[in-house]
Chain A
């Protein structure tokens, strides 16, 4: 599904990603862990098409297409979904109107007509339940005045409605208490199937108790330095990132 080869990216002339390699297949859950500043959020932003970053090398192929060649909106229409670490508040745009616009733009891209109003409302209702999102929030402006937990839940709600092929969860656990974390994780798990894939980006192992990964990758200093199964996450939790830092800092000197 997703194939990243030797991906390099910089912002304001500073290189952040220094050659990332990653293969994600349908049905898989990958976790990317790493200390602050290792490039986790840059990777998600580059995959989603944020223009602040310059890709200076490598390739990203998504279902046979050159992802880096597509505008952000076309990546989303092809089935990539980024759950933001900091969801943006958009006063004046209702959640419902926002989602309807998004769904219909994706459908237009695929050559489908707009979704019928009643089908759309039924879909919204069903997915609201799935992520236990208060129906009131759907009518409110996008993320405006939402609590941290509500914002993250709203991200998963959008994901549920848009049904992406590849979901990238960028630090979805940050700022969540344990109950909110459980609800968000349950939502993600319910949406999982053999045809889609998930990349979970996180600093802590905690989230991985709920969303169990097939593969864990350790990102440090712009590179994936270690990959393994879910036990690697536990190992990191136990030992911390210091050992990794020591090992690779000395290696690069």
Chain B
């Protein structure tokens, strides 16, 4: 049996190797490291601690036996007309490939395909924040990613950039996407990644490296609404320079599998990190959020709040790590994870992990999982509000904090709408 599994994984990798185009943007030595790692460790299954609830190997073996998916052309202009966000710079990424022309973008902002990214930036940042031999999905991405975008911001701009991720394929498409976001010194950037709904079955192994320069402020919002048949591994590896602020807000509303690996390295003093998450799960969904905040230097702050509404027979995972390294004195680090179970068959696995090696720090974490408050429910009903509306009102109240902190009104409105929809059965 074990041999069968290994063979299946091996076959998968071989097929992938045959199909994947050569990615010129990735240095050969990184590809070598990645392939070696894959050969040594294989694709993670539930025996790997980090992927205990998220058996990627089994999914690929069972659901993506063949990766014979085809990409289908899409009329971008029509799509954009219907779906673009008002008061924003919209761009379209189809199956991980930059597909619209960002010509109306403001000065100081450029977006190109990762294949056309300037060599100096690739040299300075690529594979620096996501070491090729640190995780099998990173290795897979490093070895086989042939698409993605490079976003470069040198000046502040007012309206948000919205990157629309759309799928257009048939069959079982599997692809690796590599993105690089570089926000230079003193720039302020509002970036939203929006994964739109599709009925197709496809697997995206997405990896985004983010560089936040000195005194740069970045609001990075990710909206995951890719449809019930989609599989998404989304790794975000952020590196923060001094006096920078990085805020990541991650909303997950649909997807058969969503695995987020969100790491932030606070690599210089007087920086702040804010991580927010909200997920609503139902059916047989698996939503697995792994976050890591690495405090490397003194006088920095991190704050994390993840909330989940978990229903149907779905499984949700929250694993939040905070490392406070020896050098990182005067660190303030807070983490909170709260979940509401709305069905008896749903499961939540929440695990905070703090590792503190400095002695002058303030850190705290807390996690709670419960049901809708029956007293509050009765109170609402006693005022004439029906069971369903009352439950919805309480769930809205629960999620409010995470949605309300979004600074941009257009994005906040879209997220609110999707959240409301996600509460419908």
Q: Which of A76, A81, A90 contacts B376 (CB 8 A)?
A: A90
Chain A proximity mask over B369-383: 1 for CB below 8 Å, otherwise 0: 000010110111111
State how many residues of chain A have any CB contact under 8 Å with chain B.
31
Give the residues in chain A near B397, CB-CB below 8 Å.
Answer: 90-93, 141
Decide yes or no whether B27 CB sits under 8 A from chain A. no
B350-403 residues with Cβ-Cβ distance < 8 A to A are 373, 375-376, 378-387, 389-390, 393-394, 396-401
A149-162 vs B: 1/0 string, CB under 8 Å?
Answer: 00000000010001
Is the Cβ of A73 less than 8 Å from the Cβ of B384?
Answer: yes
| B384 pairs with A76, CB closer than 8 A | yes
Instruction: Choose one: A50, A81, A82, A101; the contact of B385 (CB below 8 Å).
Output: A101
Q: Is the CB of A84 within 8 A of B379?
A: yes
Cβ-defined contact, B382 with A92, below 8 A: no
At the interface with chain B, which of A102-110, A195-203, A228-236, A243-251? A102-110
Q: Please give, as numbers and ranges, the residues of chain A lying within 8 Å of B376 by CB-CB distance.
A: 88, 90
**Count the A-B residue pairs with Cβ separation under 8 angstroms: how many?**
75
Q: Within the complex, what minimum Cβ distance (angstroms) separates A159 from chain B?
A: 10
On whether the beta carbons of B383 and A102 are closer than 8 Å, the reply is yes
In the complex, chain B residues whose CB is within 8 Å of the CB of A76: 381-384
The interface residues of chain A lying within 8 Å CB-to-CB of B382 are 48-49, 72-73, 76, 81-82, 84
CA of A6 to CA of B56, assembled, Å: 63
A93, B396: Cβ atoms under 8 Å? yes
8 A Cβ contacts from A76-97 to B: 76-77, 81-82, 84, 87-88, 90-93, 97
Instruction: Name the contact of A50 in the complex, choosing from B378, B387, B399, B400 (C-beta under 8 A).
Output: B378
Residues of B within 8 A of A73 (CB): 381-382, 384-387, 390
Q: Which of B378, B382, B397 has the most CB of A within 10 A?
A: B382
Q: Which single member of A90, A93, A102, A141 contacts B384 (CB below 8 Å)?
A: A102
Chain B interface residue count, CB cutoff 8 Å, equals 23
**With an 8 A cutoff between CB atoms, is A71 at the interface?**
yes
Residue ID in chain B nearest A91 by CB atoms: B397
Contact B394 A90 (CB under 8 A): yes
The complex places the Cα of A91 from the Cα of B379 at a distance, in Å, of 13
Nearest chain B CB to A46's CB is how many angstroms away?
12
In the complex, chain A residues whose CB is within 8 Å of the CB of B379:
84, 87-88, 90, 142
- Asked, given contacts A72-B378, A87-B379, A98-B380, whether A92 binds B400 with beta carbons under 8 Å apart, the answer is yes
Residues from chain A with a CB closer than 8 A to the CB of B380 are 90, 98, 102
Q: CA of A161 to CA of B400 in the docked complex: distance in angstroms?
A: 25
Q: Is the CB of B398 within 8 A of A92?
A: yes
Q: Give min CB distance, B219 to chain A, whole Å.
A: 22
Cβ distance B218 to chain A, nearest Cβ, rounded Å: 27
Q: Report the minimum CB–CB distance from B312 to chain A (whole Å).
A: 23
Query: How far, in whole Å, are A73 and B379 apart by their CA atoms in the complex?
Result: 10
Interface string of A37-55 (1 = CB under 8 A from B): 0000000000011110000
Give the distance to chain B from A235, nearest Cβ to Cβ, in Å: 33
Q: Which B residues touch A162, using CB under 8 A? A: 383-384
Q: How far is the CB of B404 from chain A (nearest CB, A)?
A: 9
Given contacts A88-B375, A88-B379, A98-B393, contact A106 B398 (CB under 8 A): no
- How far is B403's CA from A98's CA once the two chains are assembled, in angstroms? 19
CB distance from B224 to the nearest CB of A (A): 23
B399: chain A residues at CB < 8 Å are: 92
CA separation between A8 and B398, bound complex, in Å?
A: 38
Nearest neighbor of A141 in chain B, beta-carbon distance: B397
Q: Which residues of B contact A92 (CB under 8 A)?
A: 396-401
CB pair B396 A71 closer than 8 Å? no
Q: How far is the CA of A82 from the CA of B379 in the complex (A)?
A: 9
Residues of chain A within 8 A of B393, CB atoms compared:
93, 97-98, 101
Inter-chain contact B389/A105, CB cutoff 8 Å? yes
Residues of B within 8 A of A142 (CB): 379
Question: In the complex, are the beta carbons of A105 and B396 less than 8 A apart?
Answer: no
Nearest B residue to A92 by beta-carbon distance?
B397
Complex Cα distance A77/B385, Å? 8
Residues in A whose Cβ lies below 8 Å from that of B387: 71, 73
Q: In whole Å, how far is A76's beta carbon from the nearest beta carbon of chain B?
A: 4
A158, chain B: closest CB distance, angstroms: 6
Contact B398 A72 (CB under 8 A): no
Docked pose: A48 CA to B384 CA in angstroms: 11
Nearest-CB distance from B170 to chain A (Å)? 42
Residues of chain A within 8 A (CB-CB) of B381 are 49, 71-73, 76
Whose C-beta in chain B lies nearest to the C-beta of A108?
B386
Known interface pairs A72-B378, A90-B376. Does A98 touch B398 (Cβ–Cβ under 8 Å)? no
Closest to A51 in B: B378
**Closest partner residue, chain A, to B375 (CB atom):** A88
Query: Closest residue to A97 on the B side, CB-wise?
Result: B393
> Which chain B positions have C-beta within 8 A of A84?
379, 382
Chain B 10-54 interface residues, beta-carbon cutoff 8 Å to A: none
CA distance A48 to B378 in the complex (A): 9
Instruction: Report how far A42 CA is from B390 CA in the complex, Å.
Output: 23
Quick one: closest A residue to B383, CB to CB? A102
Q: A19 to chain B: closest CB distance in Å?
A: 25
Nearest CB of chain A from residue B412's CB, rounded to whole Å: 15
- Chain A residue numbers with a CB within 8 Å of B375 are 88
Residues of B within 8 A of A91 (CB): 397
A248 to B172, CA, bound (A): 79
A102 near B394 with CB under 8 A, answer no
A-B contact pairs, 29 of them (CB 8 A): A49-B381, A49-B382, A72-B381, A73-B381, A73-B384, A73-B390, A76-B382, A77-B384, A81-B382, A81-B383, A82-B382, A87-B379, A90-B376, A90-B379, A90-B394, A90-B397, A91-B397, A92-B396, A92-B399, A93-B394, A93-B396, A98-B380, A98-B383, A98-B393, A101-B389, A105-B384, A105-B386, A109-B384, A142-B379
Point out residues on B near A: beta carbons under 8 Å.
Answer: 373, 375-376, 378-387, 389-390, 393-394, 396-401
Apart from A49-B381, A84-B379, A93-B393, 13 more pairs, CB < 8 Å: A50-B378, A73-B382, A73-B385, A76-B381, A84-B382, A87-B379, A88-B375, A90-B376, A93-B397, A99-B383, A102-B380, A142-B379, A162-B383
